[in-house]
Chains A and B, each alone.
Chain A
Amino acid sequence: MAEEEKVIEELTSEEAKSDPLYVPEPVEGAAAHIQSFKAAPNFQEKLGYPGEKPENWKEVALEKMQELRGKFRSFRLFLDICVKCGACTDKCHYYMGTADPKNMPVARADLIRSVYRRYFTLPGKWFPSLVGARELTEEVLEEWYTYYFQCSECRRCSVYCPYGIDTAEITMASREILDQVGVGMKYTNEIIGKVYDIGNNLGLPKPALASTLEDLEEEIEEDTGVKVRLPLDEPADVLLVTPSADFFAEPHIDGLIGYAKVFHALGEKWTMSSYASEAANFAMFIGSYENMRRIALRIRKAAIDLGVKRIIIGECGHAWRAAYQFLNTLAGPFDFLDPKYPVPQHICEYTWEAIQAGKLRFNKEENDWIKLTFHDSCNVARASRMGNYPGGQFDIPRNILKAVCNNYYDMAEDTIKEATLCCGGGGGLLTDDLMELRKKGGSPRMKALQQATEEYGVNKMAAICAICKTQFSKIMPYFGYGMDDIMSVHQLVSNAIVLPGSEQEAELDGTNEEEAAEAAEE
């Protein structure tokens, strides 16, 4: 395939490899072969969608489109006001990585905009070819499925659009339309089903969860000599809802250990819930407010049942967006919680507050072997806030890292914070059948990291998103890093924290005692 060779040749050129924001020339169809497995009928039905494509799928799809236009100002407006200026065309990491022009945000939106114009606008009805309008056919439906599952809903495009057109909103609506005609994604829809059946994305039932937490308690005691608890389903003041990956994946689990140590050091009465054992909300990826609400309500019920006063979310990017922008809206109001604290809070807000108040003790030398950088996860950067000023979500994690690590460096300014490059695995795309896409989509971020390694010797990257951590541990080896070079922020906290009554404390203070004794003798 000459086309494919052209893409590979360009993207592996010296210029392309050294520039994280390199923009290739468009190559039609370069990513058309990348498609994830579709959901089986029973998984569709569990979510309230048809299991098979109905006979009148075209009418159903168009009806749904009209319905969504009436319910979502974003979808309605964004279909109309794009002026094709092209400001977004070089901003999507999937375009940068695949060179497929349908991965340019505007072109991705056009896949459905062209159909919208054909059936719902005068120019589209009367002069379709003049305005780029087209019929809805089986081929178009397939194309929608291919390319709306090559968008991670990272909102990078919305930063650069003069009207803030957010392709994520278009993708969510398109996936909802696809689901309504029985075309769903296996990965996302199966996982949502697992939450309904078992309580979390990984399908970990309560006994497995309890056993995992017990093992972690033992591990922490072995390491520190302190009995740090990881309570499950106990009445408490704080409910921690964290991504289920924190219970068994690396480096996520080290983050969970970090939260537990912080709670312990502060004497906080906290708990997790086996019923709401998942912070992540995959229904957000498929744009289903009904399913999103059903999942979010678990957090409400757990908070009520366990009588907590505060809800804190663990390190998960899109879960934090779902919690920050949607929890109150879908499952609130939370009048029964302590009004002194926002609902919900991020574990980083909690930890940083404690650090500022001087309540946590760290031995930064424990992280001296690490030259660290931080990856701003897309949903955190562009769809949330931490603290009480805009942009706190950039500062607070970095502040924590600088409090526990002596060697911190940022990647290039135009690849971080508001401009951060998505890890390439978000938005429901973290599945092996999309590995090629994940590698290509993650390459801009990886190139930015490589630059930081070259310039500062950076050897580890920290993140506060379960998807980023899994995605990076999978793709980093392709870019010259080890699978364990991605770390949780609270893993670094865990490395450095000195718990009261711990072996680490004794060592530090004991050494001081010895030195003091020696000094006294002189």
Chain B
Amino acid sequence: MLTVLYALLYYAAFIIFIGGTAYRIWGYWKTPAPAVIPTTPAPITRTGVVWRMFKEVALFESLWKSNKWIWIFAMMFHLSLWLIIVRHIRYFIDPVWTLVVLAQPFGKYAGFFFVLGGLGLLARRMLVSRVNYISAPSDYLMLLMFIGIGLSGLTMTFVSKTDIVGVKAFFLGLMTFNWQPLPTDVMLLTHLALVAIFMIIFPFSKLVHAPGVFFSPTRNMTDTPREKFHPVPWLPPVSEVEFDPPHGAKKKG
């Protein structure tokens, strides 16, 4: 019974996650950036822009400039997230890639830093009055969701010894349409429910900052508005526009 429920839940979550995110990205893709507005100083070559984007995404350059505390917690949270995700790939492929095998211990202990980072961000949101002011209930819930995912995951790894062979069989079964029974311990069910919620809300929430950052015109544009002609798509070309008449000239009609 639970197997059927979670199978359907994950099919739905997957479709919503992929479809919804693709829809959002499509929206950003097709919307023009009509003027060349990188925040300067900005790179004047494509390579420079790639490097700037890399520094932003991998090293959180702007956060470092802004505030060291937020940089530490955000870095901890996100770095751990990537290690955890890479480690989790083992549940979805067979045989498992070497990289993923190597990632196992890193991904497991990263779980602690993931939760620690999340708690740090939560504390900041509650205790710093400026951040508190701008926080909606969803901002707190989002953090609680991540912390919940982390804690339930850590519990499964280090405390309650979930039947991970059964978990892998379940997910491989979903992917091959040959459903296998889902192990039923509470921690696993909690963990999977929270992750499904994450997938479902992703396209409708601020989580789209993940693909979104790459579209930011203040970071991804080359600073060459003088050198390269970059017309505004919805304005007619200059040849079709009338100038204002010289001052003192009689108005037409």
- Whether A77 contacts B28 by the Cβ 8 Å rule is yes
From 313 to 339 in chain A, residues with beta carbon under 8 angstroms from any chain B beta carbon are 324-326, 328-333
B30 to chain A: closest residue by CB:
A70
A162 in complex: contacting residue of B28, B36, B43, B60, CB < 8 Å: B60
- Whether A160 contacts B66 by the Cβ 8 Å rule is yes
A155 to chain B, nearest CB (A): 6
Determine the chain B residues whose CB is within 8 A of the CB of A84 once the complex forms. 125, 131, 134-136, 139, 206
Q: Does A129 contact B (CB under 8 A)?
A: yes
B236 to chain A: closest residue by CB:
A293
Q: Does A60 contact B (CB under 8 A)?
A: no
Q: Does B22 contact A (CB under 8 A)?
A: no
A284 to chain B: closest residue by CB:
B35
Q: What separation, in Å, do the CA atoms of A88 and B216 have in the docked complex?
A: 16
B133 to chain A, nearest CB (A): 5
Interface of A is mostly: helix
Q: Does A104 contact B (CB under 8 A)?
A: yes
A65 to chain B, nearest CB (A): 14
From 350 to 400 in chain A, residues with beta carbon under 8 angstroms from any chain B beta carbon are 381-385, 388-391, 393-394
Assess A298 versus B223: contact at CB under 8 Å? Given A162-B60, A393-B40. Answer: no
Stretch at the interface among A34-42, A198-206, A211-219, A235-243: A198-206
From 413 to 455 in chain A, residues with beta carbon under 8 angstroms from any chain B beta carbon are 418
A134 to chain B, nearest CB (A): 11
Q: Does B129 contact A (CB under 8 A)?
A: yes
B62 in complex: contacting residue of A77, A130, A162, CB < 8 Å: A162
Determine the chain B residues whose CB is within 8 A of the CB of A289 once the complex forms. 34-35, 232, 235
- Whether B232 contacts A330 by the Cβ 8 Å rule is yes
From 4 to 49 in chain B, residues with beta carbon under 8 angstroms from any chain A beta carbon are 24, 27-28, 31-37, 39-44, 48
Assess A71 versus B234: contact at CB under 8 Å? Given A163-B209, A382-B39. Answer: yes
B246 to chain A: closest residue by CB:
A275
A326 to chain B: closest residue by CB:
B35
Q: Does A342 contact B (CB under 8 A)?
A: yes
Which residues does B use to contact A, with CB under 8 Å? 24, 27-28, 31-37, 39-44, 48, 56, 60, 62-63, 65-67, 70, 74, 124-125, 128-131, 133-139, 141, 201, 204-206, 208-209, 212-213, 215-219, 223, 225-227, 229-232, 234-235, 238, 241, 243-244, 246-247
B74 to chain A: closest residue by CB:
A85
Q: Does A190 contact B (CB under 8 A)?
A: no
A95 to chain B: closest residue by CB:
B130
- Whether A164 contacts B219 by the Cβ 8 Å rule is yes
- Whether B205 contacts A123 by the Cβ 8 Å rule is yes
Assess A26 versus B129: contact at CB under 8 Å? Given A76-B27, A293-B241. Answer: yes
Determine the chain B residues whose CB is within 8 A of the CB of A80 once the complex forms. 24, 206, 208-209, 212
A343 to chain B, nearest CB (A): 6
Known contacts A85-B70, A332-B229, A344-B226; can you find 4 more A-B pairs with CB under 8 A?
A80-B209, A87-B70, A121-B204, A162-B74
B45 to chain A: closest residue by CB:
A390
Q: Does A20 contact B (CB under 8 A)?
A: no
A426 to chain B, nearest CB (A): 16
Determine the chain A residues whose CB is within 8 A of the CB of B36 once the complex forms. 325, 329
Determine the chain A residues whose CB is within 8 A of the CB of B135 once the complex forms. 84
Interface string of A80-115 (1 = CB under 8 A from B): 111111111111000000000100101100100000
- Whether B56 contacts A162 by the Cβ 8 Å rule is yes
A333 to chain B: closest residue by CB:
B229
- Whether A275 contacts B129 by the Cβ 8 Å rule is no
- A sample of 27 inter-chain contacts (CB < 8 A) reads A70-B31, A72-B32, A73-B31, A74-B37, A77-B212, A84-B135, A84-B136, A86-B125, A122-B204, A130-B136, A131-B136, A132-B137, A132-B138, A159-B39, A161-B66, A206-B247, A275-B246, A297-B241, A297-B243, A298-B243, A325-B37, A330-B235, A332-B229, A332-B238, A383-B40, A390-B44, A390-B48
A482 to chain B, nearest CB (A): 32
Determine the chain B residues whose CB is within 8 A of the CB of A70 once the complex forms. 31
Q: Does A17 contact B (CB under 8 A)?
A: no
How many residues of A are counted as interface, with CB atoms below 8 angstroms from the partner's CB atoms? 87
Assess A73 versus B28: contact at CB under 8 Å? Given A80-B212, A107-B134, A297-B243. Answer: yes
- Whether A343 contacts B24 by the Cβ 8 Å rule is no
From A78, A86, A290, A391, residue with most partner B Cβ within 10 Å: A86
Q: Does A410 contact B (CB under 8 A)?
A: no
Q: What separation, in Å, do the CA atoms of A90 and B67 have in the docked complex?
A: 10
Q: Does A174 contact B (CB under 8 A)?
A: no
Determine the chain A residues whose CB is within 8 A of the CB of B70 once the complex forms. 85-87
Determine the chain B residues whose CB is within 8 A of the CB of A344 once the complex forms. 226
From 111 to 139 in chain A, residues with beta carbon under 8 angstroms from any chain B beta carbon are 121-123, 129-132
- Whether B35 contacts A87 by the Cβ 8 Å rule is no
Q: What separation, in Å, do the CA atoms of A389 and B224 have in the docked complex?
A: 11
- Whether A329 contacts B231 by the Cβ 8 Å rule is yes
A320 to chain B, nearest CB (A): 11
Determine the chain B residues whose CB is within 8 A of the CB of A101 once the complex forms. 130, 133-134
Q: Does A196 contact B (CB under 8 A)?
A: yes
Q: Does A244 contact B (CB under 8 A)?
A: no
- Whether A163 contacts B212 by the Cβ 8 Å rule is yes
From A80, A290, A333, residue with most partner B Cβ within 10 Å: A80
Determine the chain B residues whose CB is within 8 A of the CB of A25 once the complex forms. 129
- Whether A104 contacts B243 by the Cβ 8 Å rule is no
Q: What separation, in Å, do the CA atoms of A197 and B247 have in the docked complex?
A: 7
Q: What separation, in Å, do the CA atoms of A9 and B27 have in the docked complex?
A: 48
Which A-B residue pairs are the 10 nearest by beta carbons? A132-B136, A164-B218, A86-B131, A160-B66, A390-B41, A81-B209, A87-B66, A81-B212, A89-B130, A391-B41
Q: Does A301 contact B (CB under 8 A)?
A: yes
Q: What separation, in Å, do the CA atoms of A106 and B42 have in the docked complex?
A: 23
A418 to chain B: closest residue by CB:
B41
- Whether A198 contacts B34 by the Cβ 8 Å rule is no
Q: What separation, in Å, do the CA atoms of A132 and B138 have in the docked complex?
A: 8
Q: What separation, in Å, do the CA atoms of A418 and B128 have in the docked complex?
A: 26
Q: Does A309 contact B (CB under 8 A)?
A: no
Assess A89 versus B56: contact at CB under 8 Å? Given A325-B36, A329-B230, A390-B44. Answer: no
Determine the chain A residues whose CB is within 8 A of the CB of B125 once the complex forms. 84, 86
Interface string of A285-305 (1 = CB under 8 A from B): 000011001100110110000
Q: What separation, in Å, do the CA atoms of A475 and B206 have in the docked complex?
A: 40
Q: Does A158 contact B (CB under 8 A)?
A: yes
- Whether B226 contacts A328 by the Cβ 8 Å rule is yes
B238 to chain A: closest residue by CB:
A331
Determine the chain A residues whose CB is within 8 A of the CB of B56 once the complex forms. 162-164
Q: What separation, in Å, do the CA atoms of A274 and B249 have in the docked complex?
A: 14
- Whether B223 contacts A385 by the Cβ 8 Å rule is yes
B215 to chain A: closest residue by CB:
A77
- Whether B134 contacts A381 by the Cβ 8 Å rule is no
B217 in complex: contacting residue of A73, A162, A290, A329, CB < 8 Å: A73
- Whether A73 contacts B137 by the Cβ 8 Å rule is no
